[in-house]
C-alpha cells in the first residue's frame, strides 16, 4: 500500500476520488496541485488534512500580498484569485524589465527580465536564470478544520 498519493487536477474532477479514499479509511496521505486552490476545496468532503502546492494564496505572509488583497477587494468587492495575483506579478516584472532596458522589443524585455534582481511580488520571490528560466516560490497549503492554512513556503533554490 502507498504512503502518499498525488492527485493533480481540478476540484470538480477529483473530489469524488478524494471522498472515496477517505470513506474507505485508507491510511494514505493525499497531495494535490494548484487545481485544488479553489474556495470550496477546504469545505469539500474528504479534503481534511490534505496538502497541495500552489503558486499563490491570499494567506501568504508578505506585506505585498496583504496590500494586493486589500486593494483588489476595495476595487472588485471580492477576494482575489490566483490568476489575478500571478498576472499582477507578471505585468510588474515586464514593466520593470522595459523600464530597466529602456526598450519595449521582445529581446530587450527578455534580457531585462534576466538582469532584474530577485523580485518579491504578491506571490513570493521570482528570479530568472541566465538562460531566462524563471524560479519562483512554491506554497504548500494544508486543509485544517475546513479551511486552507499555509504549511510552508519554499523559496527558489532553498530545499531543506
Find cell 521570482 and name the residue: 126
| 12's grid cell | 470538480
Number of folded domains that form the chain: 2
Statement to judge: residues 70 and 15 lie in one domain: no
Statement to judge: residues 106 and 127 lie in one domain: yes
Written as tens digits, the pLDDT of the chain (160 aa) is 789 999 998 888 888 888 888 888 888 899 999 888 775 666 677 788 899 999 999 999 999 999 999 999 999 999 999 999 999 999 999 999 999 999 999 999 999 999 999 999 999 999 998 888 899 999 999 999 888 899 999 988 655 5
Q: Give me the pLDDT at residue 41, please.
A: 63
Q: Give me the pLDDT at residue 24, please.
A: 85
Q: Give me the pLDDT at residue 2, please.
A: 84
Q: Give me the pLDDT at residue 47, please.
A: 83
Can you give the CATH number for the domain in which 127 is found?
Answer: 3.40.50.2300
Alpha carbon distance 139, 37 (integer Å): 11
Q: Does some domain include residue 160?
A: no
Statement to judge: residues 87 and 145 lie in one domain: no
Alpha carbon distance 84, 86 (integer Å): 6
Sign of CA dihedral 50, 55, 57, 61: positive
Q: Give me the pLDDT at residue 42, please.
A: 62
Q: Does some domain include residue 41?
A: yes
| Alpha-helical regions (H) of the chain | 11-23, 63-76, 82-101, 106-115
Q: Closest Cα to residue 142, out of 129, 127, 153?
A: 153
How far is CA 82 from each of CA 39, 120, 157, rounded to the nearest angstrom?
Answer: 11, 16, 22
Provide the domain limits for residue 146: 4-55+137-154
Amino acid at each position: 500500500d502507498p504512503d502518499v498519493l498525488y492527485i493533480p487536477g481540478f476540484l470538480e474532477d477529483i473530489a469524488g476520488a478524494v471522498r472515496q479514499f477517505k470513506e474507505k479509511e485508507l491510511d494514505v496521505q493525499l497531495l494535490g496541485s494548484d487545481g485544488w486552490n479553489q474556495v470550496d476545496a477546504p469545505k469539500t468532503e474528504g479534503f481534511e488534512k490534505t496538502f497541495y502546492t500552489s503558486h499563490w494564496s491570499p494567506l501568504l505572509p508578505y506585506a505585498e500580498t496583504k496590500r494586493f488583497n486589500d486593494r483588489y477587494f476595495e476595487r472588485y468587492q471580492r477576494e482575489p484569485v490566483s490568476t489575478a495575483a500571478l498576472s499582477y506579478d507578471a505585468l510588474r516584472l515586464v514593466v520593470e524589465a522595459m523600464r530597466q532596458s529602456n526598450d519595449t522589443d521582445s529581446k530587450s524585455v527578455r534580457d531585462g527580465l534576466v538582469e532584474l534582481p530577485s523580485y518579491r511580488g504578491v506571490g513570493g520571490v521570482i528570479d530568472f536564470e541566465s538562460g531566462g528560466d524563471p524560479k519562483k516560490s512554491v506554497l504548500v497549503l494544508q486543509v485544517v478544520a475546513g479551511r486552507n492554512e499555509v504549511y510552508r513556503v519554499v523559496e527558489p533554490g532553498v530545499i531543506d
